[in-house]
A and B are shown apart, each in its own frame.
Chain A
Amino acid sequence: MSDFPRTPPKQSWTFSNDINAEIRRAAATGIYDIRGGGSKRKLPHFDDLLFLGASISRYPLEGYREKCATDVWLGTRYAKKPIHLDIPVTIAGMSFGALSGPAKEALGRGASAAGTSTTTGDGGMTEEERGHSKTLVYQYLPSRYGMNPDDLRRADAIEVVVGQGAKPGGGGMLLGQKISDRVAQMRNLPKGIDQRSACRHPDWTGPDDLEIKILELREITDWEKPIYVKVGGARPYYDTALAVKAGADVVVLDGMQGGTAATQDVFIENVGMPILACIPQAVKALQDLGMHRKVQLIVSGGIRTGADVAKAMALGADAVAIGTAALVALGDNDPALEAEYNKLGTTAGAYDDWHEGKDPAGITTQDPELFKRFDPILGGRRLKNYLKVMTLEAQTIARACGKNHLHNLEPEDLCALSIEAAAMAGVPLAGTNWIPGRNGSF
């Protein structure tokens, strides 16, 4: 053996262990990887923004004495009965089918206790959710699974889903393992088969048709309900403008960190934009049309903390929605279940095979033995606590910026830690007055 030192083994950045493992998996199975959740790659995000806080030029509000309001009105443009929420953190659409009945009940319990809304999903409205949600948004999806006028009328708002952040331009698939008798009955399909959710609506195409579709929904519900239009983060300026043109009361914008029950990993990780890049474009569209704050903007995709809430609102959103974070609050991916995650070949925090219906936490499953493990009352309490904490955190930051309402946060309260985040968010790079792309800079 030579005495000279050998070149140490060097892994390829391009052909990393993860990439090579996926190549081997694809070669062995002949099928792409399907999983739940949103993008796992590192993306420019709210973590790349900081609040400046008050100083000599601005004065703060007293943390435990001076009021910082958090309420939000949604649907004030046309609806006879707009929604008033105590907090601007809503629960995003997640289907019964993807989630168990008790999990939907827990979302309703927690959201109602915290003074906010829940949203149905691609499987129709369940009694668990309607019964426990003081304010329930009913999604109007391309599949129209379970769609009926009675549920439209007993909803508090209607959300026309055009796309979602995890898969803009894509439909969905609920695999046969999760198609129980009840799920099958609600969707008018045989038990146990894979159920496809279409990527386009069956009876309209484009913004002009959407305007007529919204008219129909308003007429069916006697113009009472706020009508949201949800889009995935792809072309947020134009999508927002077209949704406004079509008559939306509220635009819901979902970035690529937003989760899905089941989609191809290649889709989740390679299509769409991070929410940070989406918000300013949507706000610009609303401002250009003179509709900012008249048509409300709800943003979602990677909202985790009160700081994220405050940052989204400072960029111009009226409210946010959470999905994955709500599931974590309920108990999804809890390290206490590590042994069971290990049996499924994964680990707590990384479990994303929600489509297989084997969730040891009993949340993303239709297996009665598994969902019996989940206590909807306890889950609801945990969600309420989490929503309250997020709100307190956002208020803490807003007061430090001298704001007596979360809606008074503004881009001037922010700076960015990276050039990328500065360009996307349209706020200055920290320590400079430079906003890449503004005032003639590159």
Chain B
Amino acid sequence: MQTFDLSAQGLRALNSTLHGLKGQTNMTSWEIINPKGAHAIAVGLDAPVDVTVRGSTGYYCAGMNKQATVRVKGSAGPGVAENMMSGTVIIDGDASQYAGATGRGGLLVIKGNASSRCGISMKGIDIVVHGNIGHMSAFMAQSGNMVVLGDAGEALGDSLYEARLFVRGSVKSLGADCIEKEMRPEHLALLADLLKRGEADHLAKPEEFKRYGSARKLYTFNIDNASSY
């Protein structure tokens, strides 16, 4: 285990060191201490390393992650794992706005609650939230899967495309073009896998969820739908 004291060594040295691991495999386990809510911690990683942040992070922790596993032993600020490509990001606490925004791959697990716009414009990422999510989550979500063990706020999945949303609790309201859909066997199997990978299979069963997706009525502009926008 390599230990990096962020408050003593600074952000630039941290990310530079982690970027330098590309192609290396002998220093695969890292611990970052004293994060003190700093922004842009462990961004742009591209190596199969395991990074644990001991404390809470500011904006964009693990942004554009590839391959790495990043664990935050605290809460995460806005835009955690934004545009993630692959790998895994696990937040023990809560996540602020835009968690997993535009993510294209990999798995984001939030063990607490996620604020508004969780999964906004997601493009292939899988997101598992053990708690609740805020309003406008999965806005314009293009693809990927979002699993919410708790409740969803207003306007879930507004203007979404092909992303699949699974919510166990209540949904305050659905956004434009988002509808409840039939839960078929393949969705239950997908959900079981997501719950397992999201460290939530001991907390919920696939049968307890409802599935939401796009009605696909706004896919092509139609003046008769103008009031939906």
The verdict on A203 contacting B223 (CB below 8 Å), with A144-B102, A188-B143, A221-B44 known, is no
- A142 CB to closest chain B CB, in angstroms? 8
Contact status B12-A202, CB under 8 Å: no
Tell me the complex Cα distance, A203–B223, Å.
Answer: 30
The verdict on A190 contacting B162 (CB below 8 Å), with A148-B83, A196-B140, A204-B79 known, is yes
Query: Which A residues lie within 8 Å of B219 (CB)?
Result: 176, 190, 193-194
Q: Is B213 an interface residue (CB 8 A)?
A: no
In the complex, residue of chain A having the shortest beta-carbon distance to the beta carbon of B100: A203
Partner of A202, one of B58, B85, B117, B124: B117
Tell me the complex Cα distance, A115–B106, Å.
Answer: 40
Tell me the complex Cα distance, A245–B140, Å.
Answer: 30
Contact status A222-B16, CB under 8 Å: yes
Query: Which A residues lie within 8 Å of B54 (CB)?
Result: none
Tell me the complex Cα distance, A202–B104, Å.
Answer: 14
Q: Is B101 an interface residue (CB 8 A)?
A: yes
Tell me the complex Cα distance, A342–B44, Å.
Answer: 51
Number of interface residues of A (CB under 8 A): 33
Q: Is A296 an interface residue (CB 8 A)?
A: no
The verdict on A188 contacting B85 (CB below 8 Å), with A216-B59, A219-B12, A221-B44 known, is no
Q: Is B132 an interface residue (CB 8 A)?
A: no
Q: Is A173 an interface residue (CB 8 A)?
A: yes
Contact status A149-B82, CB under 8 Å: no
Tell me the complex Cα distance, A88–B38, Å.
Answer: 38
Question: Of A154-162, A207-215, A396-404, A425-433, which binds chain B?
Answer: A207-215
Q: Is B161 an interface residue (CB 8 A)?
A: yes
- A188 CB to closest chain B CB, in angstroms? 4
Query: Which A residues lie within 8 Å of B16 (CB)?
Result: 222
Contact status A212-B220, CB under 8 Å: no
Give A138-149 as 1s and 0s: 1 = Cβ < 8 Å from B's Cβ atoms. Answer: 000001100111
Query: Which B residues lie within 8 Å of A173 (CB)?
Result: 221
Give B10-36 as 1s and 0s: 1 = Cβ < 8 Å from A's Cβ atoms. Answer: 011001100100000000000000000
Give B206-229 as 1s and 0s: 1 = Cβ < 8 Å from A's Cβ atoms. Answer: 000000000000011101000000
Query: Which A residues lie within 8 Å of B187 (CB)?
Result: none
Q: Is B111 an interface residue (CB 8 A)?
A: no
Query: Which A residues lie within 8 Å of B83 (CB)?
Result: 144, 147-149
Give A177-193 as 1s and 0s: 1 = Cβ < 8 Å from B's Cβ atoms. Answer: 00000000001111001
Tell me the complex Cα distance, A204–B60, Å.
Answer: 10
Q: Is B98 an interface residue (CB 8 A)?
A: yes
The verdict on A147 contacting B140 (CB below 8 Å), with A198-B121, A212-B39 known, is no
- B158 CB to closest chain A CB, in angstroms? 12
Tell me the complex Cα distance, A143–B102, Å.
Answer: 8
Partner of B102, one of A147, A149, A215, A220: A147
Q: Is B109 an interface residue (CB 8 A)?
A: no
Query: Which A residues lie within 8 Å of B123 (CB)?
Result: 144, 188
Tell me the complex Cα distance, A216–B64, Å.
Answer: 10
Q: Taking chain B's interface residues, is the majority helix, strand, or loop, or is none over half, making it mixed?
A: loop
Contact status B15-A202, CB under 8 Å: no
In the complex, residue of chain A having the shortest beta-carbon distance to the beta carbon of B159: A196
Partner of B39, one of A31, A147, A187, A216: A216
Partner of B64, one of A149, A193, A204: A149
Contact status A203-B98, CB under 8 Å: yes
Tell me the complex Cα distance, A19–B19, Å.
Answer: 58
Partner of B43, one of A189, A209, A216: A216
Number of interface residues of B (CB under 8 A): 42
Contact status B121-A202, CB under 8 Å: yes
Q: Taking chain A's interface residues, is the majority helix, strand, or loop, or is none over half, making it mixed?
A: loop
Q: Is A5 an interface residue (CB 8 A)?
A: no
Give B114-155 as 1s and 0s: 1 = Cβ < 8 Å from A's Cβ atoms. Answer: 000100110110000000000000011011000000000000
Q: Is B66 an interface residue (CB 8 A)?
A: yes
Q: Is B63 an interface residue (CB 8 A)?
A: yes
Tell me the complex Cα distance, A202–B159, Å.
Answer: 14
In the complex, residue of chain A having the shortest beta-carbon distance to the beta carbon of B144: A188
Tell me the complex Cα distance, A95–B102, Å.
Answer: 19
Query: Which A residues lie within 8 Å of B66 (CB)?
Result: 149
Partner of A212, one of B58, B120, B159: B58
Q: Is B175 an interface residue (CB 8 A)?
A: no
Query: Which A residues lie within 8 Å of B101 (CB)?
Result: 202-203
The verdict on A213 contacting B60 (CB below 8 Å), with A148-B85, A190-B161 known, is yes
Contact status B121-A149, CB under 8 Å: no
The verdict on A188 contacting B104 (CB below 8 Å), with A143-B121, A220-B64 known, is yes
Query: Which B residues lie within 8 Å of A223 (CB)?
Result: 12
Contact status A216-B121, CB under 8 Å: no
Q: Is A30 an interface residue (CB 8 A)?
A: yes
- A191 CB to closest chain B CB, in angstroms? 11
Q: B40, B104, B117, B220: which has the most chain A beta carbons within 10 Å? A: B40
Contact status A148-B104, CB under 8 Å: yes
Tell me the complex Cα distance, A31–B19, Å.
Answer: 50
- A291 CB to closest chain B CB, in angstroms? 23
Contact status A203-B78, CB under 8 Å: yes
In the complex, residue of chain A having the shortest beta-carbon distance to the beta carbon of B124: A188
Q: Is B94 an interface residue (CB 8 A)?
A: no
Q: Considering the complex of A and B, which 5 residue pairs feature the smallest CB-CB distances, nearest first?
A: A220-B44, A203-B98, A203-B79, A193-B219, A144-B102
What are 7 A-B contacts with C-beta separation under 8 Å?
A149-B85, A188-B124, A196-B159, A198-B121, A203-B102, A204-B79, A216-B43
Q: Which residues of A contact B (CB under 8 A)?
A: 29-31, 143-144, 147-149, 152, 173, 175-176, 187-190, 193-194, 196, 198, 202-204, 209, 212-213, 215-216, 219-223
